[in-house]
Amino acid sequence: MDLPAGGQLAVGDTVKGKLSELKQLPVKWIHVGSEKEAQAGLDRQQYYGALVLPQDLSAGVVSIQGGLPKPATVKIYLNEGMNAQAGSAVKAILQQVSGTIGAELSGQLLKQIGQQTPQIPVTMVGALLHPFMTEEVTVHPVGTNNASGGAPNMLTQLFGWAVWCSVCLCISPRMLRRLG
């Protein structure tokens, strides 16, 4: 994307580079070619989530400097059906990454705009706070009758208690006979 003051802006490439550099996060970033490819991977249970950067992300960021900001929408896909607890963790990570990217873009834009003009219109300030919109999409949601994805854990606990109670009921009559 060409900037009005000259130069190039490639927000998507910058974001991809920053994500690849984040080694401290407990996730493995995999770059795919399209949103459809990411959705197919989610359907095949290959991914816990996806962060989809739109083609018009740079244009949306540049539009903030104009009179009518039109921020792009970044999509966060969450695959709860693969593992509900992992889905919650991935949701928190992707929201944090999205917020961090937005804050960095806001800071860069504010610096650039501040060099051009001493006053910033109110419409631009609102757009600077959120340089892009975020939409969350849940694929394969957790059903209503499975304890929010914790049903296997609950069933294991119930089974353990049932075994414990059976053992106690089996041993109790013997203990009572010995005691008299």
162 token code pair:
């049932």
Are residues 136 and 78 in contact, defined by beta-carbon separation less than 8 angstroms?
A: yes
Q: How far is CA 132 from each of CA 11, 30, 75, 103, rounded to the nearest angstrom? A: 11, 22, 10, 10
- Structure confidence at residue 144 (pLDDT): 61
**Mean pLDDT split into 10-residue runs, the chain, 180 residues:** 62 80 78 92 91 87 79 89 81 87 83 77 78 88 63 75 83 77
Query: CB neighbours (10 Å) of residue 91?
Result: 17
- Structure confidence at residue 77 (pLDDT): 92
Report the C-alpha gap between 116 and 99 in whole angstroms: 26
11-144: CATH architecture: 3-Layer(aba) Sandwich (3.40)
Show Cβ contacts of residue 146 under 8 Å, excluding neighbours closer than 6 positions: none
Degrees (nearest 5) of the Cα angle 67, 69, 73? 170
